[in-house]
Amino acid sequence: MSFDYRTGAPPADAYLALFETTGWNASYGASAEELERANRQSWHAVSAWDGERLCGFGRVVSDGVLHAMIYDMIVDPRYQRCGVGSRILSMLLTRCREEGIRDVQLFCARGKKGFYLRHGFVERATDAPGMQLSLSPE
């Protein structure tokens, strides 16, 4: 299979359809417009296309100097294990390296830890800094 990889935020409707494949929106309740705004405000984004179908996406939020955080690594389940996620992650990390970013972090979805370990990420120690606060929409 041949895919087209593009930088920048994808169209809102295509991204919402991809985002919905994760099940994350059950708790976020985000609209297509909110997701598009989040993507537009990212430091770098990469999408994968099979013709007109958005089949993968990932983005980086960064200060552009020291720290970067990878968010929303998503591959449509129909395209998993085709190299799409690996290519997107590689493109995101290449951009971070080119800009001299010193620290790249991510939150990985449940059950996906092995994918990131295979790409050089390491788990943080259980007593290392790093916490999460989920702010539920009211």
Kindly name the residue from 5, 15, 79, 116 that is annotated as catalytic. 116
Q: Annotated catalytic, 116?
A: yes
DSSP state of 9: P
Residue 33's Cβ-side half-sphere holds a number of Cα atoms within 13 Å equal to 0
CA 20 to chain CA mean position, Å: 14
| Helices and strands, number each (H, E), in the chain | 5, 5
- Catalytic residue numbers? 116
